[in-house]
Structure 1
Amino acid sequence: MVLPTNKNIMRIVKITKVVTETPTVKTFSFEDILSSKAKPGQFLMVWIPRKEEIPLSVMISDLENSAAITIRKNGLASTSLFNKKLGDKIGIRGPYGNSFTVKKGVKNIVLIGGGTGLVPLVRLIKNIKDIDLNITVIIGARTRSELFFHDFISTLLKNKVHNLLISTEDGTEGKKGYPTDVLQDLLANGQEIDHIYTCGPELMMKKVYDLSLTRGLPLEASIERYMKCGIGLCSSCSINDKLVCVDGTVFNHDQISKLPEFGVYYRNKAGILTKYLTG
């Protein structure tokens, strides 16, 4: 077998495992050495033949020399990928981007995510080797049937000091509300926190960022934007003067403070600056 060495060359891979996470979410595993070594927060450009190429965070796989991607069906490309079967082929480039960091001396961390934003956080948990690190994971979903990865995360945390907290918007599992409500409770109760990591809907992450400021807590957020190239050529993923694909996807609290568009504006597929709808 010839091992790929250039991440910019598209590799055609075969789907080797399909896991249905929820009625709208699936995880697809495939064999690829480069992807299997991805750092938490990095992404792949995934080509769905005859449809589109889209960016997706790299999920871990239990298969040797393999990685995975997790997709929620929504538009044309995501639904086409969702409908793929075992043995079908897709194209991948990457992994691209930077990654989350866990600095020495940190003792208490919080990981907070919603939906498929959990993917890089799962990879971060897998990569943490410090068994004395106190890890709190907050998971959010609309309803119980849309919860996923919670059992897998529990397994990854098995030999670590941890606390797994769940919220659902309708209250069918865990606390009723949003994952940011859970974080707000932790802060109000004076929980010791040294660093926060987040990935998910940008309005959720903006709230996490705002809450982190109330305690002066370091934060890293993996930001999602429309991407067409993944390598800094098209500028479709711009946020202020940064490109998410090459300057991110992970930005720290100091960097975010210089991105006034964060949680306020995004660019649609046509590149038009659009205000988030809130309230």
Structure 2
Amino acid sequence: MMNTITDQKHIMLRVDEKRIEGPAFATLFFNYAMPFKPGQFIMVWIPGVDEKPYTICFHSKDRFAITIEAKGIFSQKAVSLNKGDLVGIRGPFGNGFDIQPDHTVAVVAGGCGMAPLAPLVEMLNKNTTVIHGARSKEYILYPDRFDTQRQFCTDDGSFGQKGLVTDLLEKEIASGRQFDMVYTCGPEIMMYHIFNLCETHHIPCQVSLERYMRCGFGVCGACVCGKQLVCKDGPVFGSGELREMNDFNTKALLKSGKDVELSQYFSWRCK
């Protein structure tokens, strides 16, 4: 039976399995059935620590998982959890990707941006163009997970081509490849350049944005981006919404509610 985890109440679940994905990543699996659309997120509560939003990176009829990158206090605690440890879950929340499984599409991921894109890739056809970039080989998530062929690039050239995901996507477009849609998730500056590239070539684009969240369902306003609430209206936004979103790749709110430049926001988020 499929269960919906309510907006206000946590369901306490035990970690069923933990997989180390690299020096900075761990994936936690939970045995629980919930409705889900790729791109949606859940709120994860570690008692005595805090509550944070995480995308679902794996989903089946009776199991789901989240991948965590150890950056700040909460995420470092999260990656230290082991089988049997309890966490609280709320969700899933938000609007996911508009999936077009039979169309010619590209999926572009930067670093841990592959986590929300992974369930999407598994729903698309095997002719999908998948481009995945990261700082170095250690930050490439799930390198052997998909049947779909993937193009890799890294900033230091340690895995795949040395360069940026935008270079690989532009090369695909220049070769004559016609895309009906581009899906992307990763650093916001990367997604901004992907969006602009798509606009230049008149290709619809969907991006998954990240902002600080408290409630997860549009009440507190902490995740406002322009006129949109990332938790409720997103986290996935299409080209039409992005064109009107002045805060995209420019500003975000801190926990205090202060409006700051995006570089300051992400410096704070990584503490």
TM-score > 0.5, shorter chain as reference: yes
AA of the residue aligned to 2:219: L
Contact 1:12 1:89 in 2 (8 A): yes
Q: 2:2, 2:196 → 1: CA distance?
A: 44
Contact 2:57 2:117 in 1 (8 A): no
Aligned position for 2:48: 50
Aligned position for 1:29: 29
Deviation at 1:107, TM superposition (A): 2.9
TM-score, length-scaled by structure 2: 0.91
Q: How many residues align?
A: 263
Contact 1:196 1:220 in 2 (8 A): yes
AA of the residue aligned to 1:21: E
Q: 2:56, 2:203 → 1: CA distance?
A: 27
Aligned position for 1:233: 219
Aligned position for 1:39: 37
Contact 1:29 1:61 in 2 (8 A): no
Contact 2:129 2:150 in 1 (8 A): yes
**Would you identify which runs of 4 or more consecutive aligned residues in structure 1 move more than 6 Å?**
none
Deviation at 1:5, TM superposition (A): 4.0
AA of the residue aligned to 1:26: A
1:114-155 CA distances to partner (integer Å, 9 max, x unpaired)? 122112211112233xx4x630001111111221212102x3
Contact 1:98 1:250 in 2 (8 A): yes
Change (3 A) 1:6 1:56: closer
The equivalent position to 1:111 in structure 2, one of 107, 110, 120, is 107
Deviation at 1:102, TM superposition (A): 2.6
Aligned position for 1:209: 195
Structure 1: unaligned runs, 5 residues or longer: 158-162
Q: 1:16, 1:103 → 2: CA distance?
A: 32
Deviation at 1:270, TM superposition (A): 2.1
The equivalent position to 1:151 in structure 2, one of 144, 148, 158, is 144
Contact 2:106 2:130 in 1 (8 A): yes
Q: CA RMSD in A?
A: 1.9
Change (3 A) 1:56 1:6: closer
Q: How does 1:52-131 map to 2 (within 5 A)?
A: 52-60=50-58, 65-103=62-100, 107-128=103-124, 131=125
